[in-house]
Structure 1
Amino acid sequence: MPASFAVFEALGIKKTFDVMNTSLYTRFVQFYFDGHNKKEEENFYKFVPENDSAKPGDWNPENGILKNEVRFNENVGKHKEANIELLDEFKESFKFYEKFGYKPSKFEDLYKRIKFHFVNQHPLGRFQYFPNFDNVMYIGGIVVEEQGILTKGKIEIEDPKCIAYVAFGTVYEDGGLKDYFWEILDIFKKHKSCSFKIRIGKNEITKTYKANNIEFLEEFAPQQKILAQTNTKLFISHCGMNSFNEAMYAGVPLLCIPKFADMFVLSSIAEYLGIGKFVWVSREVNNEEIKNENFIEDFSRALKEMISGEKGKRYLEKATEKRNEILSVGPFKNMFLDTIIGIAGGNRGGH
């Protein structure tokens, strides 16, 4: 991204905007604050988990980020580290221009000159303390609305009574869970009251594992149609931005197993909103992969909680409430196009 806006600057193009296919990364927020609302800035760094270091339980009312002093201080420190690291990365990337004898503006200055930012995140799928900015529009759901499947009434299906849909996107189809998948399937097998539709691509496990309540979807899976069914009670996902948006529109609770990028903070948002659980399997810390030695136990406990008993019902209720709230907002396509026209005409954008 910085390279493209350096080019725009060199060409004298002043009316610029960017479209993010992710959530708004916490490390970029430093460029939006203008010093006028110190309290808002202070609350953001205190209470919003840093993107890569968000943890399960951060929103636990007894021992979460707001109550646990150690976790609180750790999070503030992680924000500082991430902000500095981002600036250092862009200083390095700008060395590319030196051999051409061109010295672009600092990245933070280039970023602040962007007239408008469109973010593939729904405005109702954020933390309370994530600030609103005049030149940021959240359009998460524009693709969902275009397809129209999840904005209509739910598809009434009663048999089987419970479906848990399992999919981890297109980059890592197995969700980075290859070493654990046999154990995970054994856990699914025990929950006989629910059928598990699993999309993980073709592999040896899908060829050999057999269970009456497990179906492997080896080819394309109509994800939105599956989520739109009234009997789909749970979505086990990597919690990438598109899947997160689709689950909210569908009113289906999420069991999040993040792998990289903004998946960790989105998993934390699912817990914050009360529509999901966050279980981590591994994460990168200082260029080293750290594994969760208790992953299977954590996953088994979370799954049981989400598809049985009163807690399971509560997750469904919260997810349904969020769906109804979301369907009262929009359509995003019109807002997006109107804003683009406003930017071109000089009526929108700017800090």
Structure 2
Amino acid sequence: MTMRWLQVMLLSMTTAMAAHGSVTKAVFGKMPDGTEVDIYTLKSDAVEARIMTYGARIVSIKTADKNGKVADVVLGYDSLAGYLADKKTYFGAIVGRYGNRIAKGEFKLDGKTYHLPKNNGENSLHGGTVGFDQLVWKGREVPEGVEMTLVSKDGDQGYPGTLTAHVRYTLHHNALRIDYSASTDKDTVVNLTNHSYFNLGGVGSGTILNEEIMIAADKYTPVDKGLIPMGELASVEGTPFDFRKSTVIGKRINDDSPQLKLAGGYDHNWVLRGANGEVKTAARVYDPTTGRVFTVTTTEPGVQFYAGVSLDGSFKSPSGWPYAKNTALCLETQHFPDSPNHPSFPTTELKPGQARHSATTFTFSTQK
């Protein structure tokens, strides 16, 4: 009886240690000014995730398919040089100070108009010309993961207030959790998200058009020609934006829909069910070929489903596979695009003495 109890205890301890995994740190490269960029490798019994300090980016996520074959399921590069050369895709990055678009590169706050760099036609995208994705964050190891910290000074890219942002990645078993927090010394706006591109077939396997997606939303925010929300929360009923039931991504992506034509496919914000700040399912993606399943939960009010419509093959994977249109998808948990200019949207304002917190979890599993 005692021996059996000891065996059970040892097995339990071994399983717990495997689930908790390990965190290691290495140098990934150096910036042109000599600043060192570190990469942290998080390992559990089910997933390996690598996160670097340049842009606080997810560099890779490796996980097994239904047959136990391990593959990297996010787009990226094997060297810092690849990321420095790519100013278009935001692969794996934390984008900010304001993720997504702000119309005409301006917003009003406390009666004052603030002007931002226009880097997406007439609009400002993902924080401007030098957003958080292009900065080196400070990393430190934490239990089961790494915490990244960045201080954005008052006036950075036109935004008011010195903002301190913390992004913590932790890996337990098959779940990679991202905790965001931010504080400021002056009234400002903030909208942080992760911009990883996922292909559940593995990098180099083809497009994501045969993958199936469920988005837990009854409404979405239609956009104008600049992909700026028009302020309406439109029903998905009877439209190509209805993913309340798991649907093949490519089934309706080329439908004769004005909204799809404006974006060249899916690049829209869905309004998630449930209260802002409440943990809820945002989306579930399934690849029938590999059996991989990717589930996203979040406390954010929205999610941007982007089907890689602007990827054009000009950038390639380490093995030479072109990152072409529809070869990956993004699920950017967020407040709605252009919220500072839409008082009816959930607010992105942050004041001194307040702390903004949100959490998103990426969970990987399989089904036969």
After TM superposition, the score normalised by the length of structure 2 is 0.28
Q: Whose RCO is larger (CA < 8 A, sep 6+)?
A: 1
More helix by share: 1
Q: Choose 1 or 2 for highest CA Rg.
A: 1
Tell me which protein shows more strand as a share of its residues. Answer: 2
